[in-house]
Amino acid sequence: MTRQSTTAEAAPSEQRKPTRREQILAAAAELFAHRGFHGVGIDDIGSAVGISGPGLYRHFRSKDAMLGEMLVAISEKLLAGGRRRVELAGGPEEALTELVRWHVDFALDNQALITVHERDLANLAEDDRRRVRALQRQYVEVWVDVIREVVPATDEPTARAAAHAVFGLLNSTPHSKHLDRDAMAVLLHRMAMAALTGPGALSGLTPTD
Amino acid sequence: MTRQSTTAEAAPSEQRKPTRREQILAAAAELFAHRGFHGVGIDDIGSAVGISGPGLYRHFRSKDAMLGEMLVAISEKLLAGGRRRVELAGGPEEALTELVRWHVDFALDNQALITVHERDLANLAEDDRRRVRALQRQYVEVWVDVIREVVPATDEPTARAAAHAVFGLLNSTPHSKHLDRDAMAVLLHRMAMAALTGPGALSGLTPTD
DNA sequence: GTCCACTGTTAGCGGTCGTTAACGCGAGCT
DNA sequence: AGCTCGCGTTAACGACCGCTAACAGTGGAC
């Protein structure tokens, strides 16, 4: 058996010609996003990268392993980036702005992965699913904390639901290709900020004080 | 062959004990929403309604026909409801409010269908897919028109993207069950309205005027 | 020059899935 | 009473799919 790391090991830093594994994962993500995990065959993925069918097993243990690896990788990247933005920010307002900017950029640059992420989670193997769920929860946590700092008197369940709602808004990017990237980024950023911080959106919801 | 209508024929009005076909469609929707169309077997659907496997073929021509019928039905219902709300409204602002309310209620009451709707469209047969796409487009059109009336100086592509973004926000409902239905409805309504009409959200985006 | 790890091929297996065939049975009409 | 028809059953078929086995070329290490 060839060497196969369970998760990505080389930190996927900047410019580097993509590994074969990465090429395959990218192609698989595109296919999964379009037809769903079970709607895509091994042969489809293979021919998408120029090799045919079972040749993939030189790079991955199984089809489930591909899904697992790509969802774990994306979840880790999302969480790490979000945390970094919050740490670097000078205050809650800036943290929220940076968080939105981060998520917008991420969604625009990883449309296929975003789609698969919220679509085929249920098709993951038990271990990977727990892993991804944990990472997702932590990412939401980051948002919840920032939201509650910027909009005080927001109870936690509401902040959590609001975070999910904003994710839905920002992840809508695969459904509309009518605008170019920059215009889309600006639009999504403004709408998200308005939804969260606009007067009469979150504020004044809870019957507190 | 038993009688099988291509689309729903009896207007699905109010109280009426659900047909067998409707029971089956509801169960199938739940399963499809969770594991994806190709991740659900005929036997799964059957046992979900108490019969086993091929008994379903007394009610539907094929598995694809189930998906087709439920997506066409939901798309028609969504469009019809949206149009009615706009017609009954006294002006653009009220129209937008009613449109949001309608979509919120719909999403909260049909979570499984909403999920399948934006997930397994690609797995539809050619004919049904075209049909659903057309209905979706018309529904977006309704929103675009109202948005451009309420927020003038919004160009059409922007309004379209904004509509999709709001759909994403409102359809986030299956991802967060932390709030009860009413609280969720209020939250989503306010966030959507803020995202669309809030100062600095849509308005002032285009370099017009 | 030899070797071997890496990466790819084709053939085939075992299981699953959608669908059909053949049959059964109770309810309601004549 | 008998026939029909709606609704369900089980058995089985053919296709497909994930995966393994067996084999092969190529390129770098020594």
Rounded Cα distance between B202 and B146, Å, is 13
pLDDT confidence of A207, banded at 50, 70, 90?
low
Tell me: pLDDT of A15 over 70: no
Kindly identify which residue of chain A lies nearest to residue B154, measuring between CA atoms. A187
Q: What is the mean pLDDT of chain B?
A: 91
All residues of chain B having their beta carbon less than 8 Å from the beta carbon of residue A44 are none
Tell me: pLDDT of A69 over 90: yes
* Residue–nucleotide distance: B129 CA to C22 C1' (Å): 35
Rounded Cα distance between A33 and B158, Å, is 24
Cα of first residue to Cα of last residue in chain A, in angstroms, is 64
**What percent of chain B has a predicted confidence (pLDDT) above 70?**
89
pLDDT confidence of B207, banded at 50, 70, 90?
low
Q: Which nucleotide C1' is nearest A66 CA?
A: D18
* Residue–nucleotide distance: B4 CA to D15 C1' (Å): 27
pLDDT confidence of B7, banded at 50, 70, 90?
very low
- Residue A176, pLDDT score: 87
Q: What is the mean pLDDT of chain A?
A: 91
Rounded Cα distance between A181 and B96, Å, is 27
What pTM value is reported for the model? Answer: 0.92
Q: Would an 8 Å CB–CB cutoff place A200 in contact with chain B?
A: yes
Say whether A175 and B164 touch across the interface (CB within 8 A).
Answer: yes
Nearest chain A CA: its distance from B176 CA (Å): 6
- Residue B18, pLDDT score: 79
CB B89 within 8 A of CB B98: yes
| A75-95 average pLDDT score | 98
Residues 120-139 of B with CB under 8 A from A: 120, 122-123
Least confidently predicted of A23-27, A31-35, A128-132, B8-12:
B8-12
- Residue A13, pLDDT score: 45
Residues 162-181 of A with CB under 8 A from B: 162, 164-172, 175-176, 178-179
pLDDT confidence of A9, banded at 50, 70, 90?
very low
Of B123, B168, B188, which has the smallest distance from its Cβ to A36's Cβ? B123
Q: Would an 8 Å CB–CB cutoff place A25 in contact with chain B?
A: no
Rounded Cα distance between A51 and A4, Å, is 19
Rounded Cα distance between A66 and A6, Å, is 10
Tell me: pLDDT of A184 over 80: yes
CB B142 within 8 A of CB B79: yes
**Tokens 């018309």 found at:** B138
CB A87 within 8 A of CB A183: no
Nearest chain B CA: its distance from A15 CA (Å): 32
Nearest chain B CA: its distance from A168 CA (Å): 4
| B83-103 average pLDDT score | 98
Say whether B191 and A162 touch across the interface (CB within 8 A).
Answer: yes
What are the residues whose beta carbons fall under 8 Å from the beta carbon of A116, sequence distance 6 or more? A29, A32, A33, A37, A67, A70, A71
Q: Which nucleotides of C are covered by protein (CB under 7 A)?
A: 6-12, 16-21
- Residue A205, pLDDT score: 64
All residues of chain B having their beta carbon less than 8 Å from the beta carbon of residue A188 are 165
- Residue B200, pLDDT score: 84
**Tokens 């005929």 found at:** B42
**What percent of chain A has a predicted confidence (pLDDT) above 70?**
89
Q: Is the CB of B17 under 7 A from strand D?
A: no
